[in-house]
Structure 1
Amino acid sequence: MTQSTFSHYFPHGLAITYAIFWAILAVNPVMRDVWWAENIPLMGVFALLVVTYKNFRFSNLAYALMSIWLILHTIGGHYTFANVPFDFFTDLFGFERNHFDRLGHYSIGFYAFPIAEYLTRKNLARPVIVYLFGLFAIMALAAGYEIIEWWYAVLAGGEAGIEFLGSQGDIWDAQTDMLADTLGAVTTLILFYFFGIKPNEQS
């Protein structure tokens, strides 16, 4: 397989690999009701990327970055984020809680890259606005998701609500999660500055 062929079919292979991974972790999750709550956004994002592929193909780097959140969130949905086997990391740094959810939130920020890429290639905004919009879009999404978590925790109640909220006793959980989202966005916007696709360029 030539490099150009690999590059062309990279999103297809990534999609098939993720779909198989998702199907495996859909079997016997720790809590099925929490699994549904966690996986509805996953299915929505994945379906959106598939449906819009013919109209707008993101770069391979953008697809790779977006897949990280899909993978991490799929794992979190299977085990519930607070119970993902992440002891090696917790023990390594002497943490008192499981920080896998922080990693998941950090990866949400990676979607700032495709946002910036879309705006740039469509010539919808000037460079400064591209970066600011990518950052603020993720920050708004982070705040909105924390509100949704709160609503679900109240409505579901009991163990399902606690597991979906995933605060693990941290009173600053929502704020820390939003910070992780924001840092992920900053990281990938820096990446976009150096490696992002510019207008009229093709992946």
Structure 2
Amino acid sequence: MNNESAPARWFPPALAAAFLVFWAIMAVNPVMRDVWWAENIPIMAVYLVLVATYPLFRFSNLAYVLMACWLVLHTIGGHYTFANVPFGFVTDLFGFERNHFDRVGHFSIGFYAFPIAELLIRKNLARPVVAYLFGLFAIMALAAGYEIIEWWYAVTAGGEAGIEFLGSQGDIWDAQSDMLCDTLGAVTALVLFFFSGIRAERQLT
């Protein structure tokens, strides 16, 4: 890490600061404040964990970029509610019957398989194959767990807030489709890690 250029060393703190500004802007006048809180609790938790652990373990810059993708997309979804994010140009372009912004957000959750595998390999906690599989299965378990949380919140909150947080938009297979998107995102991230993550591990350890 000592061989990194100054811009590369300062990239994670700069990215964290930029996201914090973006988050603060998107926290102003959300469509539904109760849904905003429900969506932003995991955002704040992940962000604080990454900031707190930065002095202890520095991920590669690519890992931070991938993790930021979900933070940004979920922040946008929390502001508008996922079903109402201005995503009509994509819906019209492909002739979709629903707003698929939530699918993009779920796909980006899978990107966290990259830092999971990176952590396991750089800390010599697992062989590469085990690290890849653990990253994939961790995301799949997280996806299933989050769908349960969505169901619980929708039932508990009820009304419009429950419907907006669930975001199924009338799709009876919404939960299964979301979990598939999480899984495909994880596979994509692990393929990317296969080509770039191991080299990063050698440079940053």
What is the TM-score of this pair, normalised by structure 1? 0.97
Partner of 2:34: 33
Q: Secondary structure at the match of 2:30?
A: coil
Deviations 1:105-155 (A, max 9, x none): 000000000000000000001111011000000000000000000000000
Partner of 2:109: 108
Output the CA distance in 2 between the equivalents of 1:161 and 1:5.
Answer: 46
Partner of 2:47: 46
Alignment of 1:73-84 (within 5 A): 73-84=74-85
Partner of 2:150: 149
Counterpart contact for 1:154–1:161, Cα < 8 Å: yes
Output the CA distance in 2 between the equivalents of 1:185 and 1:44.
Answer: 20
Output the CA distance in 2 between the equivalents of 1:177 and 1:19.
Answer: 27
Equivalent pairs: percent with the same residue?
77
Partner of 1:120: 121
Shift in Å at residue 196 of structure 1? Answer: 0.1
Output the CA distance in 1 between the equivalents of 2:117 and 2:99.
Answer: 31
Alignment of 1:1-203 (within 5 A): 4-197=5-198, 199-202=201-204
Amino acid of the structure 2 residue aligned with 1:144: G
Q: Secondary structure at the match of 1:125?
A: coil
Shift in Å at residue 197 of structure 1? Answer: 3.8
Deviations 1:62-105 (A, max 9, x none): 00000000000000000000000000000000001000000000
Q: Secondary structure at the match of 1:196?
A: helix
Counterpart contact for 1:59–1:197, Cα < 8 Å: no
Q: Secondary structure at the match of 2:126?
A: coil
Deviations 1:36-87 (A, max 9, x none): 0000000000000000000000000000000000000000000000000000
The aligned length equals 201
Amino acid of the structure 2 residue aligned with 1:4: S
Output the CA distance in 2 between the equivalents of 1:175 and 1:182.
Answer: 11
Q: Secondary structure at the match of 1:149?
A: helix
Output the CA distance in 2 between the equivalents of 1:13 and 1:54.
Answer: 15
Amino acid of the structure 1 residue aligned with 2:89: F
Q: Secondary structure at the match of 1:201?
A: helix
Counterpart contact for 1:112–1:138, Cα < 8 Å: yes
Q: Secondary structure at the match of 2:59?
A: coil
Shift in Å at residue 15 of structure 1? Answer: 0.4
Shift in Å at residue 201 of structure 1? Answer: 2.8
